[in-house]
């Protein structure tokens, strides 16, 4: 395992130490110990910038399950390094912010920082893994750890609701994505993403292309809160503000963006990829921006703004995927969209992280996030107001801030779609710039609502009776100020990241678009002359201002008063329907009677085996070489049959136990006859212990009685019993016939030949159990261990009278 692997796993390893630090070092806030993890990782990943800037990549492999093609391969290129720096860099600022935001006396900091480190490690693993299965493992870890963070304040019903919703939706997407990865393996013959990119021509011509694509996109859309799966993200705001700042700016919601961009070289030449991503992204953008205007909660506004901004980035990646259709030519028409996507992803991380921290400061110092109770905070909290102004201006796309630069590129990319000469983009593509422009108007509107409703107007302290409002402490302001400085740096000097971050990221996303040796050359500047994009921006500003100034009139409309997204009702009804349906099915299945459960299992097994045998013509009856049955064996078989048949008629429990024991002893005798002495001894010991224990336990129970049953149930039991017997007989005869007549070699000879050579044992049965079936035996022991712990817990548990267990 290399240093790069250890870097990815470091957050997980340090998470093990956090509970001990919290317990034994109580004089210092636990966050101070955690802070150096993302900081040191950020510095470490910075050392890879010279490699990626020059067009190089790094691949480090660790063999995990090589027989299945599953290896822990870490791949560093411009795209993965950009995410690694965002995850660790903003992670450092979030941890620093949390030190001052969360009290070490009131909060369970050991839980919080364990979850945060798990989340950070999962994101690092996700964005650097080259193996699909390893990526999926980290993908699901992000869902688990984010749900733990969202439900951190688990005493609040809304926190639990938000965590469950995020888990259900993202895990559904993750399982769908796993199906897509499986299809990609079938199509490409490998789990390596880079190898799949090299075989993209084969994948694009495969019949499984569309199902694989849709399944992969389901994973990406659910994780990045794309329409209509966006509903989990606003509910995730119930998490502590440091979590929201981290989740919305640089981590979980960007995972879907990462995945779509990473697979664009695989699927990018397909019109389905282009249209699905572009349409879903642009719909998400306008839905999120319109929904944000209706919110009254600061974090709710910012949450829907994140939905809108993610849709914006997604649509740009979709538009830029057309470059793979028109390769090795003048790609400026197509690659502008990818440039805009990468640049805006970086910009969004800076201003959105700062804005969420600002919202947390307002909540921390005023005790509320309701904009109807806020106002006039500019004079009381001038630093927070400055952070909000710059961050919101950048998000609204106002010049000269970095959001304006990426928004102009976004407008250019959407307008360029109308000039595409394939996939009917020149006709249907006309809708993309129109919708993008309308959504941008609402983006400016909700940005204005946040700033003016929070920081301007008259301050009314009577609305905040429980708080003495003042500016946040310096420690809480450091992180958002650093992010705002980054916003300003990218605003006035955008090309400082052009060569080091944006160009390598574009090179990774558009892998193969350029000819060998060619590179992208990024040159971002403010003034492009009086063009259509500038006119669109002026229209956004004018109409956005008019809408804000006339807000008192149109805010009386019913749609503005409905904060809750209508798709939440769909989710809630669907969730309630699943619970109701599962309860009905459970009531049918879980009757409380073991015989019913046994009937279900027998019917399923018989149906499955009979279907399989008929499907593959598995029945075969060639009994020419069958051994003769000795006369005394007929007596033994008769005794076994009689003991089993008599069980149907006895009413005394002890008699039933004795007859069961007789059947067991007869089986042991048959083992002796067939020279399986070890099995016979095992059978005798188990049968003796079982008979004795059953007799001790059942001695005090009443006699057996026959239940009054309907004739239909009796007929069903007869059918089930007969079908099981027929199945076992036919399968046994077919297995014998297949092995002896068709010529299949018996597996038993393999154990005879290799037990000593491979396992070093002469007792074949023991070798099979311990070595050849070692994993099976280990899992059996694990089950027994879990059962033992359960029994021990029940014995040790002190239950009060009347208390449910």
pLDDT score of 559: 64
- State the pLDDT confidence band at 558, using cuts at 50, 70 and 90: low
Q: Is the pLDDT of residue 30 over 70?
A: yes
Residue-wise pLDDT for 247-277, tens only, equals: 887 778 899 999 999 999 999 889 999 999 9
pLDDT score of 645: 87
How far CA 609 is from CA of 414, 615, 747, 752, in Å, comes to 57, 10, 21, 29
Domain 593-750 sits in CATH at 1.20.120
pLDDT score of 715: 86
Q: In the predicted model, what is the mean pLDDT of residues 474-483?
A: 94
pLDDT score of 804: 52
User: In whole angstroms, what is the distance from residue 47 CA to residue 43 CA?
Assistant: 7
- Find the Cα–Cα–Cα–Cα dihedral 507, 512, 513, 519, rounded to 10°: 40
User: In whole angstroms, what is the distance from residue 78 CA to residue 672 CA?
Assistant: 70
> Domain locations in the chain?
565-590, 593-750, 751-805
Residue of 508 and 649 predicted with greater confidence: 508
Q: What percent of the chain has pLDDT over 70?
A: 95
Q: In the predicted model, what is the mean pLDDT of residues 53-76?
A: 91
Within the chain, what is the greatest distance between any pair of CA atoms?
106
Residue-wise pLDDT for 560-574, tens only, equals: 667 677 888 889 899
Residue-wise pLDDT for 392-419, tens only, equals: 999 999 999 999 999 999 999 999 998 8
Q: What angle do CA 770, 776, 778 make, to 5 degrees?
A: 70
- State the pLDDT confidence band at 104, using cuts at 50, 70 and 90: confident
pLDDT score of 756: 86
pLDDT score of 770: 83
Residue-wise pLDDT for 332-359, tens only, equals: 777 899 999 999 999 999 999 999 999 9
- The closest of 547, 533, 297 to 441, measured between CA atoms, is 547
- State the pLDDT confidence band at 96, using cuts at 50, 70 and 90: very high
Q: Distance of alpha carbon 445 from its chain centroid, rounded?
A: 33
Q: Is the pLDDT of residue 465 over 80?
A: no
pLDDT score of 202: 92
- State the pLDDT confidence band at 139, using cuts at 50, 70 and 90: very high
User: In whole angstroms, what is the distance from residue 480 CA to residue 787 CA?
Assistant: 51
Average pLDDT, the chain: 88
Q: What is the DSSP letter of 64?
A: E
Three-class DSSP labels, 170-208: HHHHHHHHHHHHHHHHHHHCCCEHHHHHHCHHHHHCCCC
- The closest of 223, 482, 534 to 351, measured between CA atoms, is 482
Q: Is the pLDDT of residue 130 over 80?
A: yes
Q: Is the pLDDT of residue 623 over 80?
A: no
Q: What angle do CA 451, 342, 430 make, to 5 degrees?
A: 80
Q: In the predicted model, what is the mean pLDDT of residues 621-641?
A: 81
313 with 221: CB under 8 angstroms? no
Beta bridge partners of 76: 58
pLDDT score of 749: 81
- State the pLDDT confidence band at 706, using cuts at 50, 70 and 90: low
- State the pLDDT confidence band at 793, using cuts at 50, 70 and 90: confident
- State the pLDDT confidence band at 695, using cuts at 50, 70 and 90: confident
User: In whole angstroms, what is the distance from residue 80 CA to residue 194 CA?
Assistant: 13
User: In whole angstroms, what is the distance from residue 342 CA to residue 434 CA?
Assistant: 22
pLDDT score of 561: 65
- The closest of 491, 520, 495 to 505, measured between CA atoms, is 520
- State the pLDDT confidence band at 168, using cuts at 50, 70 and 90: very high
Residue-wise pLDDT for 432-448, tens only, equals: 999 999 999 999 999 99
């Amino acid at each position: 395992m290399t240093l790069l692997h250890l870097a990815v796993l470091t957050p997980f390893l340090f998470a093990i130490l956090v509970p001990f630090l919290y317990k034994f070092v109580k004089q210092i806030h636990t966050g101070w110990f955690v802070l150096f993890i993302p900081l040191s990782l950020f510095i470490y990943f910075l050392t890879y910038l010279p490699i990626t800037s020059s067009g190089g990549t790094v691949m480090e492999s660790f063999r995990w399950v090589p027989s299945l093609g599953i290896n822990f391969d870490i791949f560093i290129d411009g795209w993965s390094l950009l995410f690694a720096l965002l995850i660790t860099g903003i992670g450092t600022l979030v941890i620093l912010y949390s030190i001052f935001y969360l009290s070490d006396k009131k909060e369970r900091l050991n839980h919080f920082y364990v979850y945060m480190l798990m989340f950070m490690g999962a994101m690092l693993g996700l964005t650097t893994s080259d193996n699909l299965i390893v990526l999926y493992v980290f993908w699901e870890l992000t869902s688990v750890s984010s749900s733990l963070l969202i439900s951190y304040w688990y005493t609040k019903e809304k926190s639990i609701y938000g965590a469950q919703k995020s888990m259900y939706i993202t895990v559904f997407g993750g399982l769908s994505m796993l199906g897509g990865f499986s299809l990609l393996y079938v199509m490409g013959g490998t789990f390596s993403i880079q190898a799949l990119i090299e075989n993209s021509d084969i994948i694009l011509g495969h019949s499984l292309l569309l199902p694989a694509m849709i399944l992969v996109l389901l994973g990406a859309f659910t994780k990045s809160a794309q329409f209509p799966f966006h509903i989990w993200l606003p509910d995730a705001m119930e998490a502590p503000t440091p979590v929201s700042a981290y989740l919305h700016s640089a981590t979980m919601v960007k995972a879907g963006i990462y995945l779509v961009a990473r697979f664009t070289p695989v699927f990018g030449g397909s019109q389905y990829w282009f249209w699905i991503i572009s349409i879903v992204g642009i719909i998400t953008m306008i839905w999120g921006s319109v929904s944000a205007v209706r919110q009254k909660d600061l974090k709710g506004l910012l949450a829907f703004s994140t939905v809108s901004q993610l849709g914006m980035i997604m649509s740009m990646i979709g538009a830029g995927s057309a470059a793979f259709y028109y390769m090795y030519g003048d790609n400026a028409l197509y690659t502008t969209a990818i440039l805009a996507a990468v640049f805006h992803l970086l910009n969004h991380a800076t201003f959105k992280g700062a804005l969420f921290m600002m919202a947390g400061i307002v909540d921390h110092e005023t005790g509320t996030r309701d904009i109807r109770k806020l106002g006039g905070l500019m004079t009381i909290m001038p630093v927070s107001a400055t952070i909000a102004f710059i961050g919101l201006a950048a998000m609204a796309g106002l010049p000269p801030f970095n959001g304006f630069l990426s928004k102009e590129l976004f407008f250019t990319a959407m307008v360029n779609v109308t000039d595409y000469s394939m996939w009917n983009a020149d006709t249907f593509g006309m809708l993309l710039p129109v919708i993008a422009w309308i959504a941008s108007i609402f983006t400016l509107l909700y940005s204005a609502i946040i700033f003016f409703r929070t920081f301007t107007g008259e301050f009314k302290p009577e609305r905040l009776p429980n708080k003495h409002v003042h500016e946040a402490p310096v420690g809480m302001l450091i992180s958002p100020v650093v992010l705002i400085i980054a916003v300003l740096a990218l605003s006035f000097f955008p090309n400082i990241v052009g060569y080091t971050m944006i160009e390598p990221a574009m090179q990774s996303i558009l892998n193969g678009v350029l000819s060998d040796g060619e590179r992208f050359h990024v040159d971002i500047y403010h003034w492009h002359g009086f063009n259509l994009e500038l006119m669109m921006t002026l229209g956004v500003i004018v109409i956005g201002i008019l809408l804000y100034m006339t807000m008192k009139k149109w805010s009386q409309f019913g749609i503005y008063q409905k904060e809750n997204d209508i798709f939440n009702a769909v989710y809630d009804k669907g969730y309630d329907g699943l619970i109701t349906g599962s309860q009905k099915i459970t009531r049918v299945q879980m009757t409380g009677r073991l015989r019913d459960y046994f009937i279900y299992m027998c019917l399923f097994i018989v149906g499955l085996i009979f279907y399989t045998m008929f499907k593959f013509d598995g029945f075969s009856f060639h009994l020419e070489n069958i051994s003769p049955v000795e006369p005394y064996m007929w007596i033994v078989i008769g005794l076994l049959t009689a003991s089993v048949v008599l069980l149907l008629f006895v009413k005394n429990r002890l008699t039933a136990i004795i007859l069961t024991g007789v059947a067991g002893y007869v089986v042991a005798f048959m083992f002796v006859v067939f020279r399986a002495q070890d099995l016979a001894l095992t059978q005798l010991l188990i049968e003796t212990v079982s008979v004795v224990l059953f007799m001790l336990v059942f001695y005090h129970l009443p006699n057996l009685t026959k239940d009054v049953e309907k004739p239909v149930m009796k007929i069903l039991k007869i059918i089930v019993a007969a079908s099981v017997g027929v199945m076992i007989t036919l399968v046994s005869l077919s297995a014998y016939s297949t092995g002896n007549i068709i010529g299949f070699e018996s597996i038993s000879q393999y154990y005879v030949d290799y037990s000593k050579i491979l396992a070093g044992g002469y007792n074949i049965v023991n070798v099979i159990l311990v070595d050849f079936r070692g994993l099976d035996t280990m899992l059996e022991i694990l089950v027994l261990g879990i059962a033992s712990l359960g029994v021990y817990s029940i014995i040790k548990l002190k239950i009060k009278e009347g208390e449910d267990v």
